[in-house]
Amino acid sequence: MIEVKNLTKYYGDFLAVNSINFKINKGEVVGLLGPNGAGKSTTIRMLTGYYTPSDGEIFINDISVKDEPIMIKSFIGYIPESSPLYKDMVVYDYLKFIAHIQNVPDNLIAERIDFVVEKCGLEEVIYKKVGELSKGYKQRTGLAHSIIHNPQILILDEPTSGLDPNQIIEIRELIKELGKEKTVLLSSHILSEVEATCSRVIIINRGNIVADGSTEELLKTFTDVEKFIIKVKTKDDTEKIKNLLKIENARISVADGALKEIVISLPKTNEIEETIYRKIKETDWILYEFRKEEQSLENLFKELTMEDKNV
């Protein structure tokens, strides 16, 4: 449905998106995850034709965006971050206007408006100006905007940013609902959001895809690695600590402080706790804390997108 090949975007000399490839199949709900400035919005803006890629190609339904920009846009429902709609228009007029320019046949417009108003729960605000709506309703209007022409693909940039927790849950439910019949690509820097709404996650950092897979798959790869956090009081320096704790295949990092915090990550092995404990016992360190870190998508995200400052 969506296929991206070597997609690259430069802003002047700055490389925002670095030759990424991915494919999204019909019916998938995909989360594009990454910290702020990772290239999510840039990628999305290229998919929706707002930006021209510096290099690479995008195919939607096997049609190149480059060749048929206008036609492609009619397959896609897109709403940018924080729904910047026309503030001075009444919701009903706005939806009608969008229906017109999105090629909804005249005789179906009333029907489509009724449908999206009901689906997005806009009955109460239909005669209010967009500029007077609360953020939650504004976001709903944005979603109504994006589905008015019944597109096969829905692209949402940070659909829940700036909403309160209740509104977030409502919008998520709405996206899930829409995801039943449409292919959805949404971007977010909030993990729980992606975990809650998406079946697949693409993690992007500094313009590169660092992970791509189903939510469970990603968690599984990650849980094959174990991580221990040890806090000790010692006068030994980083080098010495690393030497004393040397374990095969393990990555050790040490953070300074009143207590030294040692992080050991290594592939899952039996009785590794014992090995580590014995090694510590041989030293003159005073042990304050020794724990195994819980595995979650949150940690995976941190691991993949943060610079390892301690090493």
Per residue, what are the HEC states of 67-115?
CCHHHHHHHEEEECCCCCCCCCCEHHHHHHHHHHHCCCCHHHHHHHHHH
Q: Under the criterion CB under 8 A, does residue 80 sit at the interface with another protein?
A: yes
143 vs 203 by CB, closer to another protein: 143
74 vs 221 by CB, closer to another protein: 74
- Judging by beta carbons within 10 Å of its beta carbon (0-12, 13-18, 19+), is residue 119 exposed, middle or buried? middle
Q: Under the criterion CB under 8 A, does residue 39 sit at the interface with another protein?
A: no
Piece of the chain touching another protein by CB under 8 A; list 66-74, 202-210, 241-249, 265-273: 66-74
CB of 13 to another protein, least distance (A): 12
Q: Under the criterion CB under 8 A, does residue 71 sit at the interface with another protein?
A: yes
Q: Under the criterion CB under 8 A, does residue 102 sit at the interface with another protein?
A: yes
Q: What's at 112, amino acid-wise?
A: R
By C-alpha distance, which of 30, 28, 29, 58 is closest to 43?
58
Question: Which residues, numbered 9-28, are part of the site for another protein (CB under 8 A)?
Answer: 9, 11
Q: What's at 24, amino acid-wise?
A: I
Piece of the chain touching another protein by CB under 8 A; list 44-52, 180-188, 204-212, 242-250: 44-52
Q: Under the criterion CB under 8 A, does residue 85 sit at the interface with another protein?
A: yes
Q: Under the criterion CB under 8 A, does residue 74 sit at the interface with another protein?
A: yes
**Which of helix, strand or coil describes residue 168?**
helix
Chain center to CA of 82:
16
Tell me the helices (H) and strands (E) count for the chain, helix number first: 11, 14
- Which residues lie near another protein (CB under 8 A)? 9, 11, 42, 45, 48-52, 69-71, 73-74, 76, 78-80, 82-89, 93, 97-98, 100-103, 145, 149
